[in-house]
Amino acid sequence: MTKVNRKVVLSSPLDGVPTPENFKLIEEPSPEPSEGTFTVRHIYLSLDPYQRIAMAGRHMSADGKLDTGATPRAETIGQVIASRHPDFTTGDYVRSFGGWQEFSVSDGAGAFKIDPTAAPLSATLGVLGMPGLTAYASVVKLANIQPGQTVLVSAASGPVGGTLGQIAIQLGGRAVGIAGGEEKCAYVTGELGFDACIDYKKEGYGQALKAALPDGADIYHDNVGGQILVDAFSVLKDYGTVILCGLISQMNDLNGAKGFYLGLPIIKRAVMKGLVVYDFEDKRDEFFELVAPWVAAGKVKYKEDRAAGIESVAAQFSKLMRGENFGKTLVVLGPEKL
Amino acid sequence: MTKVNRKVVLSSPLDGVPTPENFKLIEEPSPEPSEGTFTVRHIYLSLDPYQRIAMAGRHMSADGKLDTGATPRAETIGQVIASRHPDFTTGDYVRSFGGWQEFSVSDGAGAFKIDPTAAPLSATLGVLGMPGLTAYASVVKLANIQPGQTVLVSAASGPVGGTLGQIAIQLGGRAVGIAGGEEKCAYVTGELGFDACIDYKKEGYGQALKAALPDGADIYHDNVGGQILVDAFSVLKDYGTVILCGLISQMNDLNGAKGFYLGLPIIKRAVMKGLVVYDFEDKRDEFFELVAPWVAAGKVKYKEDRAAGIESVAAQFSKLMRGENFGKTLVVLGPEKL
């Protein structure tokens, strides 16, 4: 049985926001496992902003710039279809870094079995996966939110921001979001239950931010950098905490990345902490145990921005990097069950 | 008895590094105290980099931009020569914000009596004054240095940096300085006892920094911002602490201030804290009690860059803002005793 593996490779060097033309689809025989490895059929492919800096060789997961002809790294949920590995069996569901392709071979490093009955499979890439863990690490571990405190979060309709605000609310805090567009803001307050959401694309955004936070924010979680980070300082309480996480506004254009004026945290006596989610792998279980029941009970909600088929990956990534996604961005590569 | 008060006023708007031509000296009758106030004869005038941003209206001590015709605010050590205030008596030595002039009248707000026998009078502006308190607040209060830890500090021959490294050493830490020029570096290691000092003006500075810190720095105290802050991140340990204090490299040119790439603290998982020394006024006594005996015993040393006479103030400030000072910059305006 020779299957075909379709994979996306970089076809031209990236400059600015990636377009589908930067990538091409190639076919190769589906990989067979050698001794000590197993083959995974991908079901869900995660697309995340950090993949853009990884392609530029500036993300810690990246070992240099992505060469043309190479396949971007990405987290996947899949099912083992052949195994010569003692710990993984055909039929197991796994979370691993399978990349932008339909099949991958793994030696088990960075691969984790998942229980398909514990939560929806795709949630393991979003609200209960790395974005959710990022939110938990930020607001619980680094910012140590206390009941009554207010957290402000940008990209609030996205998987990190949306989960973060909902965790804050479940822990007795208040959540104010920043998002782009009326539809996203309506979702953030109506569906996710944030106390307020400010549309940064709307006239009078700065005033609206101040009006939503008359007493200021104790914590600001930054997903975007740039001007929104600067604006957040205008409503940060003195001695407030700022968690630096994504710099999505700077990911497309790394050379032209606008710098940040450090006078702002000095004036506010802010504590700024850099967050790298990989540091919190050992907190994944406690995170899951806290948040999965909230998800199951409908107390913590999430939204997915899905596309289908390997041929849609590049366009879906481009959409994400243009900020046009709405919810956790992923691509469905195959059925959950064969 | 009518005395003359000579004072410096701004004569033309500032643009970039201030020059003596931006200021002029005027004379007026020396102020007489009204009921509830007292007149101070200034002995030492403190010149500090923050005065430049205050003049631009961007320092928290400033109530807007300094108008032409107005006198810059500055800390002074002086002696009361006439008093109609119940708490201050002729002959008292006081620390207050007398400004760039020979005499000032105070209602007592922000004025503190000092014991002229406790330490050299001028040290109250430097090693045992606001720069020293800044150093203490940074390394002890915000960074909470532990024995065995290494602190890196820029502007290491200046009053904040020099005092900071010496406090760290007294508390069982290591200190590495960054300074401009061989003479300053020789002073930092030879006189102040730092473990190393790197000359940022010298070829191979980046390599020298790494060589001096093979295991990295636990704490970086930033006095300067700009490229030196970026360089410091190259030797900061993961999870290290960065105290943001001065941004002297950006003080002359506020509009063109180069921003800082926030990817650096994310990659290092750094904790960055903004320091405003005014928050630590209530720690002045504990600071003095800790450090004054070290100064008296010669364990903590300091250097002053002195000029004499009110007519030298503007040139001395210009020298400071060009980074050509060596030690705590001050101007002697009169004798300690009449």
The pLDDT of residue A22 is 97
**Structural domain includes residue A338:** no
Say whether A274 and B257 touch across the interface (CB within 8 A).
no
DSSP A181-199: SHHHHHHHHHTT--SEEEE
Q: B288 and B308: one domain?
A: no
Contacting residues of A for B273, CB less than 8 Å apart: 265, 269-272
Residue B277 has pLDDT above 60, yes or no: yes
Of the candidates A258, A272, A279, the beta carbon closest to that of B259 is on A258
Residue with tokens 């820029």: B154
Whether B273 sits inside 8 A of A274 (CB atoms) is: no
Q: What is the pLDDT of residue A255?
A: 52
Closest to A212 (Cα-Cα) out of A272, A154, A262, A152? A152
Chain A CB contacts of B244 below 8 Å: 262, 265-266
Token digits for A254? Answer: 């790394």
Residue numbers in A near B260 (CB within 8 A): 259-262
Tell me the two tokens of residue B117: 């026998």
Query: Do B97 and B24 lie in a common domain?
Result: yes
To the nearest 5 percent, what fractions of chain A are helix, strand and coil? 30, 25, 45
**B118 and B30 in a common domain:** yes
Chain B residue set in contact with A, beta carbons under 8 Å: 58, 60, 225, 229, 244-245, 247, 250, 257-263, 265-276, 279
CATH number, domain of B160, equals: 3.40.50.720
What region does B210 belong to: left with phi over 0, alpha with psi -120 to 50, or beta? alpha
Q: Which residues form the domain of B244?
A: 130-296
**A261: nearest CA partner in chain B:** B259
Residue B200 scores a pLDDT above 60: yes
What are the beta bridge partners of residue B29? Answer: B4
Report whether B258 contacts B176 (CB < 8 A). Answer: no
Same domain, A20 and A118: yes
Is the pLDDT confidence value at A262 over 60? yes
Clarify whether residues A29 and A87 are in a common domain: yes
The closest alpha carbon to A274, from A249, A245, A250, belongs to A245
CA distance A275 to chain B (A): 6
Residue of A nearest to B58 (CA): A263
What pLDDT is stored for residue A182 in this prediction? 95
* Number of residues assigned to chain B: 338
pLDDT digits (tens, 9 = 90+) for A219-257: 999 988 888 888 999 999 999 999 998 765 555 554 545
**Closest residue, chain A, to B264 (C-alpha):** A274
How far is B58 from chain A, CA to nearest CA, in Å?
A: 9
Task: Collect all residues of chain B within an 8 Å Cβ-Cβ radius of residue A270.
Answer: 272-274
Does A112 score more than 90 pLDDT?
yes
A245 min Cα distance to partner chain B (Å): 7
Shortest distance between the Cα of A336 and any Cα of chain B, in A, equals 36
Q: Are residues A43 and A155 in the same domain?
A: no
Q: Which two tokens stand for residue A249?
A: 């506004």
- Domain check: are B177 and B91 in the same one? no
Candidates B136, B133, B188, B181; CA nearest to B158 is B188
Residue B288 lies in a domain: yes
Looking at the complex, report in whole angstroms how far the Cα of residue B148 sits from the nearest Cα belonging to chain A.
23
Residue of B nearest to A269 (CA): B274
Cβ contacts of A262 on chain B, cutoff 8 Å: 225, 229, 244, 247, 260, 274
Count of residues for chain A? 338
Please, are residues B145 and B157 in contact by the beta-carbon 8 Å criterion?
no
Minimal Cα distance from B142: which residue of A? A271
Chain B: nearest CA to A94, how far in angstroms? 28
Token pair of B190 as six digits: 């030879």
Instruction: Name the residue facing A259 among B259, B268, B273 (closest C-beta).
Output: B259
| Contact state of A271 with B267 under an 8 Å Cβ cutoff | no
Kindly report, residue by residue over B139-167, the tens digit of the pLDDT: 999 999 999 999 999 999 999 999 999 99
Alpha carbon distance B335, B44 (integer Å): 9
Of A247, A260, A269, the CB nearest to B259: A260
Question: In which band, very low, low, confident or very high, does the pLDDT at A291 lie, cut at 50, 70 and 90?
Answer: very high
Cα separation, B176 vs B163, in Å, equals 12
A159/A222 same-domain check: yes
Per-residue 3-state assignment (H helix, E strand, C coil) for chain B: CCCEEEEEEECCCCCCCCCHHHEEEEEEECCCCCCCCEEEEEEEEECCCHHHHHHCCCCCCCCCCCCCCCCCCCCEEEEEEEECCCCCCCCCEEEECCCCECEEEECCCCCEECCCCCCCHHHHHCCCCHHHHHHHHHHHHHCCCCCCCEEEECCCCCHHHHHHHHHHHHCCCEEEEEECCHHHHHHHHHCCCCCEEEECCCCCHHHHHHHHCCCCEEEEEECCCHHHHHHHHCCEEEEEEEEECCCHHHCCCCCCCCCECCHHHHHHCCEEEECCHHHHHHHHHHHHHHHHHHHHCCCCCCCEEEEECHHHHHHHHHHHHCCCCCCEEEEECCCCCC
Chain A environment of B266 (Cβ under 8 Å)? 244-245, 247, 274-276
Residue B338 lies in a domain: no
* CATH number of the domain where residue B92 is located: 3.90.180.10
Residue B247, pLDDT score? 64
Cβ B244–A266 below 8 Å, yes or no? yes
Instruction: Please answer whether residues B14 and B55 qualify as being in contact, where contact means their C-beta atoms are separated by less than 8 angstroms.
Output: yes
Separation CA A158–CA A246 (nearest Å): 12
In Å, how far is A260's CA from the nearest CA of chain B? 4
What pLDDT is attached to residue A248? 56
Mean pLDDT of B33-61: 91
Mean pLDDT of A131-153: 97
Give which of A59, A228, A262 to mutate to test B binding, by max B Cβ within 10 Å.
A262
Facing residues of A224 across strands? none
Whether A265 sits inside 8 A of B250 (CB atoms) is no
Name the token pair of B238. 């993961």
Q: What is the dihedral of CA A143, A148, A154, A155, to 10 degrees?
A: 100
Give the count of alpha carbons within 13 A of A269, CB side only: 14
Do strands A150-153 and A112-113 pair parallel, antiparallel, or not at all (unpaired)? unpaired
Q: Are residues A96 and A148 in the same domain?
A: no
Choose among B60, B245, B265: nearest Cβ to A244. B265
| Digit-coded pLDDT (tens) for A155-211 | 999 999 999 999 999 999 999 999 999 999 999 999 999 999 999 999 999 999 999
pLDDT tens track for B221-272: 998 888 888 899 999 999 999 999 876 555 555 454 567 888 888 888 999 9
pTM across the whole model: 0.85
The nearest CA of chain A is from the CA of B258 a distance in Å of: 7
- Indicate yes or no: CB of A272 within 8 angstroms of CB of B275: no
- Asked if A272's CB is within 8 angstroms of B265's CB, the reply is yes
User: What is the rounded CA–CA span in Å between residue A245 and residue A138?
Assistant: 8
Same-domain check for residues B95 and B166: no
Whether residue B337 is contained in a domain is answered as no
Which of A266, A267, A274 comes nearest B266 by C-beta? Answer: A274
Contact A274 B267 (CB under 8 A): yes
State the smallest CA–CA distance between residue A120 and chain B in angstroms. 31
The full DSSP string for A164-183 is: HHHHHHHTT-EEEEEESSHH
Q: How many CB pairs under 8 A join A and B?
A: 87
What local confidence, expressed as pLDDT, does residue B27 receive? 97
Q: What's the Cα-to-Cα distance from A235 to each of A197, A208, A248, rounded to whole Å?
A: 14, 11, 21
A187 and A93 fall within a common domain: no
Residue A102 has pLDDT above 60, yes or no: yes
Do residues B276 and B311 share a domain?
A: no
Q: Is B266 in Cβ contact with A269 (below 8 Å)? A: no
H/E run at residue A301: none
Q: For residue B141, tell me if it sits in a domain.
A: yes
What torsion do the CA atoms of B103, B107, B110, B111 make, to the nearest 10 degrees?
60
- pLDDT mean over A27-35: 93
Count: domains in chain A? 2
Residues of A in contact with B267 (CB under 8 A): 60, 274, 276
Give the per-residue pLDDT at A312. Answer: 98
> Does the pLDDT of residue A128 top 80, yes or no?
yes
